[in-house]
Structures are given as structure tokens and as C-alpha cells.
């Protein structure tokens, strides 16, 4: 099975049996990632994680992937050169138009694989909106490595260009990681109850907390750890794609949208 949907002709896509089946759209961002990682980091991780997951799929699973949507909602990183941020309304419109085109082509299921935290809330909302408008079954999978063995401070505040992301990029594109790796930087965060990414949280911009643009400790990162995290992430995503490809709701006859 040819998995890259964009490599098919229109006649091949028209002829595909689409139910069961799911289309996966990787979504990342082009944004600053501290002094050591390229602005391409989130887009690269999204693209490669989806590629790696599809390599692990059995041929019996009906699933296809789209090219990565590289640009995301990255306005938290404005003020740093190289960040290219879409507004929330622009990204919502892009996602909606992609979903509309897939719906017109006869697809029934769409999964977003997101590798940028700033996209998450928007994509959660769009999954429901697209279900209501088009009848598409929409899924959101988040690129997230298991950081439970890292120090507590890294688990809470290591959220950007951190140990995990640096390790993943050392595995995926070591030539683009700048050495020496910068020292750890964590925000001076006085609140006990509010957080940066877990509810309850405060709205923030990176420049509120980090002159260099990173949150966390890149220095412990290794390519070997990045490989292990990448393998775990791709295996998990392959499982999710498999389940999504034949997922149904309790009352499928109510599907349809407008």
C-alpha cells in the first residue's frame, strides 16, 4: 500500500476504499528553539514521527499520511528571529480547508499528529467542529515522550528546547544541533498553583521568562536517549493510527454533517 497520499494520482485517490481508513496530518511549527536547535524542530519531529509510525504499520491497516503542515500557532515565540507564526484564525482556516477537501474526496476519518504545544488547544476544538460540520471522525495525537525519569524541575518546566527535544534532534538531525549545548534555564515562577502548560495556567510569552528562548536543560540530552524516545513515540502512534482507522461511534447512521 502506498501510504503517502500526495504521491497518488487523483484517480488513484478516488478509487481508494476509504472505510475503514484514516488520513494522518502531521502538524508542527517554525519557531525559535533556543540557541542550539533549528527553527524547523517541531515540523521535523512531526514529520519523522509520522514517517516512523507508518513504517511500523501492518499492510492490513488502511491509513495514509499527508505532507507535514510546517507552520503553526507560535505567537508565544514572537520577538525571536525566525519564528513564523500563524494566527489562530489562519490555522483554523487551513485545518478546516484540508478537512473539507478530504471530506469531498470521500474520506471518513482524519487524525492530527501535533508536535507543537501551542497548537494543541486549537486542534482539540477543531476536532469537534469538523465532526459537527462534515461528519468526519477526527482524532488528535500529541507528540509527547515519557519524561518521568527526568528530574522533577525538568518534568514541570522543561517544556521547550529541553532535554527531550534536544535528544530527539540529536537522533534525527545531529548536524543541526549547535554545540556546546546551553546551560539549563527554568522560569522564575513564584506561583504554587498556576503552571505554564497544565491547568490551571497563566497566559505567557517565552520572552517573559527566557532571554535565550529555551525552558529546560539541554545538556543531559544524548542521541541514544533520543532514539529510545523516538522508538517509543512511533510505536505508540502506530497503535493509535491502527485503532483510529476502524473507529466507529455508537450510532454511525447519525454521521453526515452539512
Q: Is residue 26 part of a domain?
A: yes
Kindly tell me if the per-residue pLDDT of 55 is higher than 70.
yes
Give pLDDT tens digits for 211-250: 999 999 999 999 999 999 999 999 999 999 999 999 999 8
Say what the pTM is.
Answer: 0.95
pLDDT of residue 254: 55
Instruction: With respect to residue 93, please indicate whether it lies within any of the assigned structural domains.
Output: yes
Q: Would residue 179 count as lying in a domain?
A: no
pLDDT at 83 over 90: yes
Tens-place pLDDT, residues 158-168 = 999 999 999 99
The pLDDT tens digits of the residues spanning 156-213 come to: 999 999 999 999 999 999 999 999 999 999 998 888 888 888 889 999 999 999 999 9
Cross-strand bridge partners of residue 27: 69, 114
* Whether pLDDT at 24 is above 80: yes
Give the CATH number, domain containing residue 93.
3.40.50.10310
Q: Would residue 137 count as lying in a domain?
A: yes
What's the whole-number average pLDDT of the chain? Answer: 95
What are the pLDDT digits (tens) for 125-169? 999 999 999 999 999 999 889 999 999 999 999 999 999 999 999
Q: How many structural domains comprise the chain?
A: 1
Q: How far is CA 126 from CA 49, 139, 169, 244, in A?
A: 22, 10, 29, 17
Q: Which domain holds residue 54?
A: 5-148+226-254
Does a structural domain hold residue 192? no
Q: What is the pLDDT of residue 258?
A: 47
Cα separation, 177 vs 5, in Å, equals 31
Amino acid at each position: 500500500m502506498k501510504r503517502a497520499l500526495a504521491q497518488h494520482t487523483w484517480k488513484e485517490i478516488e478509487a481508494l476504499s476509504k472505510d475503514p481508513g484514516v488520513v494522518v496530518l502531521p502538524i508542527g511549527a517554525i519557531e525559535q528553539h533556543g540557541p542550539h536547535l533549528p527553527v524547523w524542530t517541531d515540523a521535523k519531529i512531526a514529520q519523522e514521527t509520522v514517517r516512523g509510525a507508518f513504517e511500523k504499520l501492518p499492510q492490513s491497516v488502511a491509513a495514509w499520511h499527508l505532507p507535514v503542515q510546517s507552520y503553526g500557532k507560535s505567537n508565544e515565540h514572537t520577538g525571536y528571529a525566525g519564528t513564523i507564526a500563524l494566527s489562530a484564525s489562519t490555522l483554523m482556516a487551513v485545518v478546516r480547508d484540508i478537512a473539507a477537501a478530504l471530506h469531498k474526496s470521500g474520506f471518513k476519518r482524519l487524525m492530527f499528529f501535533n508536535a507543537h504545544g501551542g497548537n494543541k488547544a486549537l486542534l482539540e476544538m477543531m476536532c469537534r467542529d469538523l465532526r459537527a460540520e462534515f461528519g468526519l471522525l477526527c482524532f488528535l495525537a500529541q507528540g509527547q515522550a515519557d519524561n518521568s525519569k527526568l528530574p522533577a524541575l525538568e518534568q514541570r518546566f522543561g517544556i521547550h528546547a529541553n532535554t527531550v527535544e534536544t535528544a530527539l534532534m540529536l537522533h534525527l538531525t545531529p548536524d543541526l544541533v549547535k554545540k556546546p549545548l546551553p546551560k539549563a534555564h527554568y522560569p522564575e515562577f513564584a506561583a504554587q498553583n498556576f503552571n505554564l502548560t497544565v491547568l490551571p495556567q497563566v497566559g505567557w510569552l517565552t520572552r517573559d521568562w527566557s532571554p535565550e528562548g529555551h525552558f529546560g536543560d539541554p545538556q543531559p540530552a544524548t542521541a541514544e536517549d533520543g532514539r529510545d524516545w523516538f522508538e517509543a513515540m512511533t510505536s505508540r502512534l502506530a497503535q493509535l493510527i491502527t485503532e483510529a482507522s476502524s473507529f466507529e461511534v455508537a450510532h454511525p447512521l447519525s454521521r453526515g454533517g452539512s
